[in-house]
Amino acid sequence: MALANENYLKTPEIYCFDEIEKRVNAFKVLHPNAKVIRLGVGDVSRPLPNEVVQAMHKAVDEMSVLDSFRGYSPPQGYDFLIEKILKEYRSIGVFLDKDSIFVNDGAKSDIGNIGHVLGRDNIIAISDPVYPVYENATIMSGRAGVLTDDQKWSNVVYLRCTEDTGFVPELPTEKVDVIYLCNPNNPTGTVMKKPELKKWVDYAIEHQSIIVYDGAYQAYINEPDVPRSIYEIKGAKKVAIEIRSYSKTAGFTGLRCGYSVFPQELLVYTKYGEEVPLIKLWSRRNANYTNGVSYIVQRGAEAVYSRKGKAEVHELVDYYLTNASLLRNELLSIGFEVYGGTNSPYVWFKTAYNQSSWKFFQQLLYENHIVGTPGVVFGSLGEGYMRFTGFSSREDTLLAIERLRRGV
314 HSE (CA, 13 A, CB side): 8
Task: Give the binding range for its own copies (CB under 8 A) out of 104-112, 325-333, 335-343, 366-374.
Answer: 104-112
112 binds its own copies (CB under 8 A): yes
Looking at the DSSP bridge assignments, the partners of residue 214 are 182, 243
Q: What's the start-to-end Cα distance of the chain, in Å?
A: 55
Which of 134, 250, 115 has the alpha carbon at shortest distance from 182?
A: 134
Residue 247 assigned to a binding site: yes
395 binds its own copies (CB under 8 A): no
Q: Which is nearer to its own copies, 28 or 359 (CB)?
A: 28
Residue 186 assigned to a binding site: yes
155 binds its own copies (CB under 8 A): no
Task: Give the binding range for its own copies (CB under 8 A) out of 85-93, 107-115, 213-221, 316-324.
Answer: 107-115
Sole binder of its own copies in the list 73, 229, 389, 392 (CB under 8 A): 73
> How far, in Å, CA of 185 to CA of 192, rounded?
8
Contact 191, 182 (CB under 8 A): no
Contacts of 247 (CB under 8 A, 6+ apart): 44, 106, 107, 216, 253, 258
Residue 385 assigned to a binding site: no
379 binds its own copies (CB under 8 A): no
122 binds its own copies (CB under 8 A): yes
Which of 113, 106, 108, 170 has the alpha carbon at shortest distance from 133?
A: 108
Residue 237 assigned to a binding site: no
Residue 242 phi, psi dihedral angles, 5° rounding: -125, 135
Q: Which is nearer to its own copies, 125 or 192 (CB)?
A: 125
Sole binder of its own copies in the list 13, 149, 174, 223 (CB under 8 A): 13
Residue 185 assigned to a binding site: no
Residue 183 assigned to a binding site: no
Collapse the DSSP code of 319 into the 3-class scheme (helix H, G, I; strand E, B; otherwise coil) and give the result: helix
Residue 346 assigned to a binding site: no
> How far, in Å, CA of 44 to CA of 249, rounded?
9
Which of 244, 252, 360 has the alpha carbon at shortest distance from 313?
A: 252
Sole binder of its own copies in the list 22, 26, 34, 47 (CB under 8 A): 47
Collapse the DSSP code of 128 into the 3-class scheme (helix H, G, I; strand E, B; otherwise coil) and give the result: strand
66 binds its own copies (CB under 8 A): yes
Q: Which is nearer to its own copies, 231 or 319 (CB)?
A: 319
133 binds its own copies (CB under 8 A): yes
CA 382 to chain centre: 17
118 binds its own copies (CB under 8 A): yes
Residue 219 assigned to a binding site: no
Binding string, 248-287, against its own copies, x = CB under 8 A?
---x-xxxx-----------xxxx-x--x-x-xx--xx-x
* Beta strands at 385-389 and 338-340: parallel, antiparallel or unpaired: unpaired
Annotated binding site for pyridoxal 5'-phosphate: 72, 107-108, 131, 186, 217, 245-247, 256, 291
Annotated binding site: 15, 42, 72, 107-108, 131, 186, 217, 245-247, 256, 291, 387
Annotated binding site for substrate: 15, 42, 108, 131, 186, 291, 387
